[in-house]
Structure formats: structure tokens, C-alpha cells
Amino acid sequence: MTPRAAASAPRTPVDDRPSVPALYVGCAGWSIPAQYASEFPEGKSHLARYAQVFNAVEINSSFYRPHLPATYRRWSATVPKTFRFAVKMPRAITHMARLRDCGPALETFLGEVDFLDGKLGCLLLQLPPSLAYDPAITLPFFDLLRKKHRGPVACEPRHASWFHGTVNNALRERGIARAAADPARFTQASVPAGDRSLQYLRLHGSPRMYYDAYVDDVLGHVARRMQRPCRQTAARWCIFDNTALGHATGNALSMNRLLRGQAK
């Protein structure tokens, strides 16, 4: 067949209808509170038990200290093929270096998480509330990050200067999603922005951050938001960070039931 003939061959119609993205639900950490232990099957470790119920987890310990490549490899081997990890970037980069001159630290961190293999779902970059948006600092950092890592990245800024259209465009151009957070410091912080292919929702507990559980009405609203069809979004994450009294686990279990259409 000549190239011209191949070009004129009938094309299969493309279905561009919006669909529900891949949904990932989990907690900040995989500890299993005693009050929910009966909800999890037996397993060799807490992570093994957790991964039989949830399909995602946010690793927060990486913010405070590095983990050996062997540790990431062991975690990866513990969970099913469809399970995904979100890994919080180190405070040495975000809070100490404040995104300046952190190439070696970034290289080290990326080398460690690479041992999660295909189970690295995304990187989470949480910025300190005092870190204002400065394109002279921020954009070179994101360009460096994108040069070294092509996977999904969610950024959770907490300074008012980040919530403007020009910043949103800069994030989108670099394939960086802006995470949605609750409670939101600013109205715009409650909705995802930046790169549309990833939507990452962090629920910290309300009204008391880290301590209070979400009520059923709020969870129902989030579940409906998670299930909205969309052409541009490939994955939506919902991570519960209200871990202080174990409510993250209960809320994540409820979210799973809601997304599966099961009664509580």
C-alpha cells in the first residue's frame, strides 16, 4: 500500500465524549486506627492491609527525612499493580531552600522515589504559607523539576500571591497541577487549577484541621465532584489528612463506599 493510499484509508471515529477520570482515594499515611481495624483484611504489614482496601496513599514522611531506595522498593513490592503512591517533596527543598539552588537535593529525592517504579502516582509539593510567588525563583525551579521528572506533579501553595490567572497559566504551561485544599485559606484554594490532566484534593479536616471528621453531606458533595466526567482530566485524587484522631481512615472508607454506590 502506498503512503497516499494509507492516508486515504477510512479512520476509526474518535470518541471524544467526557468520561470519569481514574479515581484514587486514600489517606496521608497507611496507619490503621484501632477503631477501623476490622475493615481491613489480614496482611504481613499495615501497608499490605491498607492496600487491599484503598488504591492510593500519600507519603508524608518523605517531607521530614529521606528514605532509602530499598525502602521505596519494598513498599512498591507490597502493594497491587494498580496501587499508586503520592510522595511529598522534602522540606529541605520547599521550606529550607525555598526552591532556590536545590538541584542536588532534588536529584537525590527523585533518585529515591524512582524505586517505586510504575507505582509512583504523583509528586506533592506543599509550599510554606510565607512563600510568595516569585517567577524569578519559582519558574526556574519548575523548569528544572520538569527537566528531571515528567510524571504528574501537584503543588499546594499557601500564599495569596499564587492564586492569580498569570500564575495558573505558568503552572499549566509546565504541566504542574495546583492542588485543591480544605479548609481553604483563600476561596480559589478550594478548587484545582494549573495542569488539567491531574486534580488533587487534600482534605485536612474541618473545622479543626487534622482533628475533625467530615460529615456525610460534605463527603457526598466531594464524591459527586470526583465522579464528574471530564475530557481533559486523566486522574483525580482525594487524600484525607485529618489523621490526628483516625478520622482520615473513616472518611476514606466512606468515600470508597460513595464512589461505589454503596450505602453506608
- Over the stretch 37-57, which tens digit does the pLDDT of each residue have? 999 999 999 999 999 999 999
Whether residue 36 has pLDDT greater than 60: yes
Whether residue 18 has pLDDT greater than 90: no
Q: What CATH fold (topology level) applies to the domain 19-259? A: TIM Barrel (3.20.20)
Cβ-count burial of 110 within 10 angstroms (0-12 exposed, 13-18 middle, 19+ buried)? middle
What is the reported pLDDT for 58?
Answer: 98
Share of the chain above pLDDT 70, in %: 93
What is the reported pLDDT for 15?
Answer: 54
Measured CA to CA, the distance from residue 85 to residue 67 in angstroms comes to 14
Whether residue 25 has pLDDT greater than 90: yes
Whether residue 5 has pLDDT greater than 70: no
Measured CA to CA, the distance from residue 150 to residue 146 in angstroms comes to 6
What is the reported pLDDT for 101?
Answer: 96
**What rounded mean pLDDT belongs to the chain?**
93
CA nearest neighbour of 230 among 195, 178, 181 = 195
Whether residue 67 has pLDDT greater than 90: yes
Whether residue 13 has pLDDT greater than 70: no
What is the reported pLDDT for 17?
Answer: 79
**Which has more confidence, 197 or 5?**
197
Q: What average pLDDT does the segment 245-254 reach?
A: 98
Q: What average pLDDT does the segment 215-242 reach?
A: 96
- Report pLDDT digits (tens) over 84-134: 999 999 999 999 999 999 999 999 999 999 999 899 999 999 999 999 999
CA nearest neighbour of 163 among 186, 131, 140, 196 = 186
Whether residue 263 has pLDDT greater than 50: no
What is the reported pLDDT for 262?
Answer: 61
pTM of the entire predicted model:
0.91
- Report pLDDT digits (tens) over 174-185: 999 999 999 999
